[in-house]
């Protein structure tokens, strides 16, 4: 039956079919019709069935369940960005008067959230080195309610003392929130170490194709999980169905991509270390990395897909390097299928003074590579040529 002019604005029923779609359907609907007020009541009471997409939709559910499986989590929530996940976790868990102890090398926007935005709501933070359990414990106060860390830091790839911090958090009754974006559940599963909350920027290697901005958050405790869910819905941190659909598609190949990128990263780190234009290479499992023992234990001897290195030269050498590698995207992100290169002094760490950057070991010749899944020989050639060009300025 075809639509007549009278009924054209009415939805045509989805065709019945005896076969089923193999690909995940994309459901952009903002609202879901219920049968009656009684049924709607039952939906709200039972928390079952979709009603309005800000409160949840099937593409987010499917994606969350897949990441839950990777993280060993229950009822994780997808958010509109990684920052939304971090914001939801902090807003859901904290109230005015609470204190946070956070790692001192967090993602830049997380630092900003803790130093600029949350203090306006009466939540304050102190920062400490998460590789030094004594210094980190010393920052804890009676009001400390939450600890926020990343296991591998950006861009110097320091490895936090996760076991020590988890022990202190448990002893003192403090929530431990871990941003697992860099390490990914393929590298480490924070819930197995006692984390209470795990967050991700799904934007990065989980989705993997630099075409979606999304986040993920999961909490161990059911009451906390519900508080976080309410924060996501009320503060409007909901993801778009299309982004969830794309991220799910990316996730199917996540483990293959991660393993290949990590294998490439380890080989590229070795190769960079052999080049005369390179002053130092930072890779967590290299024997000269300050945390290589901890990386061996926590990350099972696996180094991940990120490599940092420093040129002998300064800004002029850095400019020459990116110009001589036009096929490697010079872009401040990570986790894409292709290799990307970032320069912390002009991007993520530009707000710091030169002295503050020097304290972290970040010079004008410092680069971070998010290694992709290309042919490793191609990567070696491109970096070798670019580093030679940087040596000649
Ligand atoms: C990118 C990133 C974020 C923020 O994620 P968005 O999806 O960009 O909001 C948070 N933490 C880490 C470690 C990141 O790399």
* CATH number of the domain to which 120 belongs: 3.40.640.10
| Mutation probe of ligand 1 site: the residue of 63, 81, 83 with most atoms within 8 A of C-beta | 83
Give tens-digit pLDDT for 88-123. Answer: 999 999 999 999 999 999 999 999 999 999 999 999
- Beta pairing partners, 126: 101
Q: Are residues 214 and 240 in the same domain?
A: yes
Give tens-digit pLDDT for 191-214. Answer: 999 999 999 999 999 999 999 999
Residue 16 in tokens: 């019945």
Degrees (nearest 5) of the Cα angle 122, 127, 129?
Answer: 160
Q: Please identify which of the residues 104, 161, 179, 291 carries the catalytic annotation.
A: 179
Q: Are residues 143 and 64 in the same domain?
A: yes
For residue 29, tell me if it sits in a domain.
no
Residues 6+ positions from 168 with CB-CB distance below 8 Å: 133, 136, 137, 140, 174
Degrees (nearest 5) of the Cα angle 242, 51, 19?
Answer: 60
**pLDDT exceeding 70 applies to what percent of the chain?**
99
Q: Is the CB of 213 under 6 A from ligand 1?
A: yes
What total of structural domains would you count in the chain? 2
- Beta pairing partners, 149: 178
Q: Are residues 290 and 219 in the same domain?
A: no
Q: What is the DSSP letter of 52?
A: B
For residue 106, tell me if it sits in a domain.
yes
Q: Is the CB of 254 under 6 A from ligand 1?
A: no
Q: Please identify which of the residues 204, 229, 302, 380 carries the catalytic annotation.
A: 204
Q: Is the CB of 204 under 6 A from ligand 1?
A: yes
Residue 13 in tokens: 């029923």
Q: Is 284 exposed, middle or buried (0-12, 13-18, 19+ CB in 10 A)?
A: buried
Q: Are residues 241 and 95 in the same domain?
A: yes
Q: What is the DSSP letter of 125?
A: E
Among 228, 251, 274, identify where a domain stops: 251
Q: What is the CATH number of the domain that holds 267?
A: 3.90.1150.10
Give tens-digit pLDDT for 296-324. Answer: 999 988 999 999 999 999 999 999 999 99
Q: Are residues 218 and 275 in the same domain?
A: no
Q: Is the CB of 203 under 6 A from ligand 1?
A: yes
Range of the domain at 184: 37-251
Q: How many CA atoms lie within 13 A of 205 on its CB side?
A: 29
Ligand 1 atom with the smallest distance to the CA of 333 is 1
Q: Is 54 a catalytic residue?
A: yes
Ligand 1 atom with the smallest distance to the CA of 335 is 15
Cα(55)–Cα(76) distance, integer angstroms: 14
Q: Are residues 229 and 343 in the same domain?
A: no
Cα(19)–Cα(16) distance, integer angstroms: 9
């Amino acid at each position: 039956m075809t639509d007549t002019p009278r009924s054209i604005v009415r939805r045509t029923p989805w065709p019945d079919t005896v076969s089923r779609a193999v690909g995940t359907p994309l459901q952009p609907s903002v609202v879901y019709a219920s049968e009656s007020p009684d049924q709607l009541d039952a939906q709200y009471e039972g928390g079952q069935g979709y009603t309005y997409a800000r409160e949840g939709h099937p593409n987010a559910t499917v994606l969350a369940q897949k990441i839950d499986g990777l993280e060993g989590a229950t009822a994780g929530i997808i958010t509109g960005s990684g920052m939304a996940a971090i914001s939801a976790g902090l807003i859901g868990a904290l109230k005015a008067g609470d204190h946070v102890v956070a790692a001192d090398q967090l993602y830049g926007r997380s630092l900003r959230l803790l130093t600029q935005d949350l203090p306006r709501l009466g939540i304050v933070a102190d920062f400490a080195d998460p590789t030094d359990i004594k210094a980190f414990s010393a920052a804890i106060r009676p009001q400390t309610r939450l600890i926020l860390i990343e296991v591998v830091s950006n861009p110097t790839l320091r490895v936090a003392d996760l076991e020590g911090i988890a022990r202190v958090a448990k002893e003192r009754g403090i929530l431990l929130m871990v941003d697992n974006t860099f390490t990914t559940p393929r590298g480490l599963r924070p819930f197995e170490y006692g984390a209470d909350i795990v967050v991700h920027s799904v934007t990065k290697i989980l989705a993997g194709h630099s075409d979606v901005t999304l986040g993920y958050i999961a909490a161990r405790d059911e009451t906390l999980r519900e508080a976080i869910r309410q924060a996501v819905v009320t503060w409007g941190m909901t993801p778009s169905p299309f982004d969830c659909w794309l991220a799910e598609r990316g996730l199917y190949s996540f483990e293959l991509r991660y393993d290949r990128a990590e294998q490439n990263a380890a080989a590229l780190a070795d190769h960079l270390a052999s080049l005369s234009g390179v002053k130092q290479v930072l890779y967590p499992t290299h024997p000269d990395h300050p945390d290589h023992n901890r990386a061996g234990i926590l990350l099972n001897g696996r180094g991940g897909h990120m490599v940092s290195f420093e040129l002998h030269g300064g800004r002029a050498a850095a400019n020459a390097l990116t110009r001589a590698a036009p096929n490697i995207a010079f872009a401040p992100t990570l986790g894409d299928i292709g290799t990307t290169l970032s320069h912390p002094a002009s991007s993520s760490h530009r707000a710091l003074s030169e002295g503050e950057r020097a304290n972290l070991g970040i010079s004008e010749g410092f680069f971070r590579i998010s290694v992709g899944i290309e042919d490793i020989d191609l990567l070696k050639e491109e970096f070798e040529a670019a580093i030679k060009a940087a040596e000649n300025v």
